[in-house]
Amino acid sequence: MATLALLFGLFIVLRGLQPEVHRDGEGPLAATGDPRHQEAGAFDPVKGGPWTLGYPLCLMQGDQPATIDSVGPAKTVGAGFRFLGAEIRQFATARGHMPIGSVDGYPPQLPDPLQPAVGFSVSTRCTKSGLPPTYTELLIGVDRKAGGDGGGWRGIKVGYTVGGRHRAVILGFDILVCGPAVTNEPHLCPEFFAATPSATSG
């Protein structure tokens, strides 16, 4: 019984060390604020690269800043993909000065200073509609691997600390390089799927 109690106690301690993982909109740090939000961006497996993609970050709950401690995939597919790094761009929104969506190159050539994502404290509040006056943009750099099968991230996992508590948010954004590893995406990779009809079967 003593051994069982010790193991149970160890489980509780280890569980306490694990970050609380939540979906977009269900914790302090958010992007769209919608846990059902899902979108994907895909790149040509032969042409171009590297690229930078931009995603919003904001505070959905509470008033304490959320300090980022990690940026990575929620899940990965394939091996023909490289993560180059993550930066933060914070700027005042105005006509002609907007979020990037995606641009060629990493790090991107932008008029605003970039800061490493890890260690940055997000304090801008989420808005119900439109862009906030101050925008915090997570910039993720990616590239393809020559001869790879494509692939990438299925969701973005951002670890952060707020109020001394470690959490992680899963954002519903896929980042992909087209190839055999990327299935069920004919609208994103039409040339690849046209060339390999068997990829859409089943």
pTM listed for this prediction? 0.85
Query: Could you read off the pLDDT tens digit of each residue along the chain, which spans 202 residues?
Result: 455 444 444 444 444 456 699 999 999 999 999 999 999 999 988 878 899 999 999 999 988 999 999 999 999 999 999 999 999 999 999 888 899 999 999 999 999 999 999 999 999 999 988 888 999 999 999 999 877 789 999 999 999 999 999 999 999 999 999 988 888 778 888 776 655 443 333 3
Please give the pLDDT value at position 149. Answer: 86
The one-letter amino acid at 59: L
Please give the pLDDT value at position 190. Answer: 79
Number of helical (H) and strand (E) elements in the chain, helices listed first: 2, 13
Please give the pLDDT value at position 53. Answer: 97
Distance CA 11, CA 153 (A): 30
Q: Which is it for strands 51-59 and 121-122: parallel, antiparallel or unpaired?
A: unpaired
